[in-house]
Amino acid sequence: MKQSPILWPGYYDVVILPSPPIRDHAIELSEKLQRIGGLWRLGKRAFLPHISLYHIPVAADALDPFLNELQVIVNTAKWGDLHTTALDMPVMMITKPDWLRNLHHRIVNRTARFRNRSYDVEKTWSLARFSGRRLEFAKKYLRQYGSPMVGMNFRPHITLSSFKGNEPECSDLQVRQMSFRPDRLYICELGQSHTCHQIRGQTTHSPISPQRGTAQNSPKYCN
């Protein structure tokens, strides 16, 4: 049955798209989760597998300057490998090397000024997964940056699905150990559960090229 995503126009996610092998593995795991109660599954036309770097609402007249600023960041970014690690229901965890931590920090600090503050981001987030100091900072980040998933709460991952209530135990699901090297950013329009749908823009690849033979081909997605 075809999924009908609930879209949030004007709310975007700065993302890295995984290589085709990792994308396909994430879709495979997502399909298994949907069979045991997942509310949606990943795909190649909508609900795109992605690694979120910054959720931010941007007004239509600020979108081009926002994309230009991201290109400036990419032009001087240092890139490296990312690796899948484990399943932390319902997400596939990704490593957080220093270069990715720095890229995330630069994106948030240099593009937060484009945030559309009239957009009510609070209604799209539940902070139930946070506790203690992380909850304290999640509330602060949500007010300041429009997303709780920045700073100390930045945990690179690919969300595979979402559930009503508690997630079921899936001890039989295993994440294959895979790696890839990205070299660009994408802007996706968000929908329910902060899922990624239409690709609204992308940067060109970084001129600081990785060593020859280590870069992955850009993933092909259907809009």
Residue 70: predicted pLDDT: 98
> Where are the chain's structural domains?
22-164+171-198
Say which residues have a Cβ less than 8 Å from residue 98's Cβ, sequence separation at least 6: none
Least reliable range by pLDDT among 21-25, 102-106, 203-207, 214-218: 214-218
Place of tokens 């081909």: 217
| 3-class DSSP assignment, residue 194 | helix
pLDDT in tens, 158-209: 999 999 877 777 768 899 999 999 999 999 999 988 999 989 999 998 776 5
The lowest-confidence range among 3-7, 63-67, 76-80, 191-195 is 3-7
Q: What is the DSSP letter of 115?
A: B
Q: What is the mean pLDDT of the chain?
A: 90
pLDDT value of residue 213 = 35
Is the whole model's pTM more than 0.85, yes or no? Answer: yes
Cβ–Cβ contacts within 10 Å for residue 128, how many?
Answer: 7
Tokens of 190: 């968000």
pLDDT value of position 220: 53
Position 95 pLDDT exceeds 70: yes
Q: Is the pLDDT of residue 142 over 60?
A: yes
- Chain-centre distance for alpha carbon 143: 20
Q: With a cut of 50, say whether residue 114 has pLDDT above it.
A: yes
**Polymer length in residues for the chain:** 223
Average pLDDT estimate for 123-133: 91
pLDDT at 134: 94
The fold adopted by the segment(s) 22-164+171-198 is: Cyclic Phosphodiesterase; Chain: A, (3.90.1140)
Residue 48 has what pLDDT? Answer: 97
Helices (H), the chain: 20-35, 63-75, 98-111, 132-145
